[in-house]
A and B are shown apart, each in its own frame.
Chain A
Amino acid sequence: MARPEVMPLGGSQRERVRARLRSEHTVCRACGGVDLVIGDALFLGFVFHSEPTDAYMIGLTCANPSCPARYTGIRLRAREFLDR
């Protein structure tokens, strides 16, 4: 059963997230792996009071099977990955 709060990303959105990861040289914080699988997005702006009203968390999963903490994420604003 899909969690309604979690929003799947489309191809172009995924591409923008990937470009962002590349430009920031983002690596897995647990194992240093560079292969991060981009998952879904969670809108943070409404339920979390510390977040800007257009903040999202993008799920990232480390592809390294022996990684000690495979689940991670990157926080983006709407304009940074959503289609205009």
Chain B
Amino acid sequence: MDVYGFPAWLRVEHWINALFITLMVRSGIEILATHPKLYGRDDSRPGSEWARFTRKTMPKDKLYDTLDEEESYSPIISLPGHRNLGMGRHWHFFVAIGWVLAGVTYVALLFATGQWRRYIPTSWGILPQAWHDLLTYLSFRLPPHLPGEPFDALQKLAYALVIFVLAPVAILSGLAQSPAVDARFPWFLRLWGGRQRVRSLHFFVLLAFLAFTAVHLLMLAVWGWGRENSLMIFGHGDAPVGGLWVSLVIIAAIIGVNIAVTVWSLRRPRMVQRVLGAVVMALRRALLRPATSHQHYPKAAVAAQHRVNGKPPDSDTYKIMAVHDFAPWRLTVGGLVENPVVLTLEDLRALNTRQSQCVLHHCIQGWSSVGEWTGLPLRDLLDLVRPLPEARYICFLTMQDNGRDEPSAPGEGHFYEIIDLELAHHPQTLLAYEMNGEPLPIEHGAPLRLRLENQLGFKMAKWIHDIEFLSDYRLVGDGMGGWREDNVHFDMEVGI
């Protein structure tokens, strides 16, 4: 007789978890699709990947960028599929919040009710028992349950590993990919062996959940699908026929939810962006915005080759500026400021503060790179132009016209990004005009780009020519806070 039973909270939690896992796996695959390459080193050097899940190859005689490398996977395996990183991220983070809350509740209830004993062994004797169970399974027979418990020893260990090791590793290895967390606590990232190792580990977590699910379903079939589902649905094993049918209904419902959110995301991405974004963004603002970058990577860590996301302005005006080392270029700073200015590159360099920072760059696609950036701290520009009290946001307008310059990005118009004024006060928020000790290269944003070390790369506008201080951003572009937010539904603030 099983003394632990299957209390209602445990059954409810189980099925919620099953739904959440399917959504997490599919949205996770969507995120992988945007840069389907896995690396061992943080420079993400082209060609150094240990795994690739793409059929694309890149040209050798033309600059390609990481948008060209994006894959489009089927909605059957990814949420929502068809190359929708923005949607994939919304679902991954939204469900992650629910999954973590459910998981914490579950573990709390396990300990509050004494049910933890069903998973956590209290004697080393479990190991020889588990070995014996393994041999029994390998003999195509079923081992006995532990006395008074719902599982055999091997099952007990497997569940303990999933709940108390795999799930925490999933959460922590996800957090370790947040630029805000890594900027504030560089030691935490080092603990995992670096940004790309932890990304690879997060991928192994995905594989582990898939493997666990496959074995779990196989075991259900072997032990008796109806009876096992009767336990997990009704709390007793006496209704195998009911267990069979209701389990099929629940599985259909899980598939139905997956289809519904996929269709919703593909048809009404803006709505998904607003609804899910509101929840995720609130948490990001509360937890991640205060994270101030404290990164000081050694110069030896600087990547020989820094990947590129976004192609430079393909206009004569820009090319003529570049061949004259940007002497004709002007930076206009205006909007809600006391002292609007127009600056040349010389003026910017001549401003007496000049700051260098050697930091890890996090692209939203998952690749990373270490670079040394030199320029003017944004807060010093603020001192110069003196924002008015009603200024709350800063808009960075660029010379890049996406319709013309970036065939791999859906959308038209000039690239711009808007940040909260609060971020401008962070000590490592920089207007960079140099990279790795040389003038900022064209493909990295010459002559001027933004560095926001606790955010993802796309917020760090390149090829800037105009900076405007705003009280509100809803009337700029489509009103979502930036070109990527408008066109590919990314979030406005991206500490993760």
Contacts and interface: CB of A to CB of B under 8 A. Distances in A.
Q: Do A and B touch directly, given a CB cutoff of 8 Å in the complex?
A: yes
Nearest to B405: A49
Contacts of B407: 49
Interface string B303-338: 000000001101010011111110110000000000
A69 to B, nearest CB: 8
Interface in A28-57: 39-42, 44-51, 53, 57
Interface string A1-36: 111111000000000000000000000000000000
B328 to A, nearest CB: 4
B438 A59 contact: no
Interface stretch (B28-36, B156-164, B439-447, B475-483): B439-447
Most buried by A among B320, B323, B405: B323
B319 A57 contact: yes
B324 A59 contact: yes
A interface, how many residues as a size bin?
Answer: 20 to 34
Contact of B63 (A6, A49, A61): A49
B312 A59 contact: no
Contacts of B442: 5, 47
Contacts of A41: 323
B320 A57 contact: yes
Contacts of A5: 322, 441-442
A71 B327 contact: yes
A4 B311 CA distance: 19
B320 A73 contact: yes
Given A47-B63, A59-B324, A73 B319 contact: yes
B61 A3 contact: no
Contacts of A49: 62-63, 311, 314, 405, 407
B443 A47 contact: yes
B438 A6 contact: no
Interface of A: 1-6, 39-42, 44-51, 53, 57-59, 61, 69, 71-73, 75
Given A57-B319, A75-B316, 18 more contacts: A3-B446, A5-B322, A6-B323, A39-B323, A39-B324, A42-B322, A42-B323, A46-B62, A47-B63, A47-B312, A48-B319, A49-B405, A58-B323, A59-B320, A69-B328, A71-B321, A72-B320, A73-B324
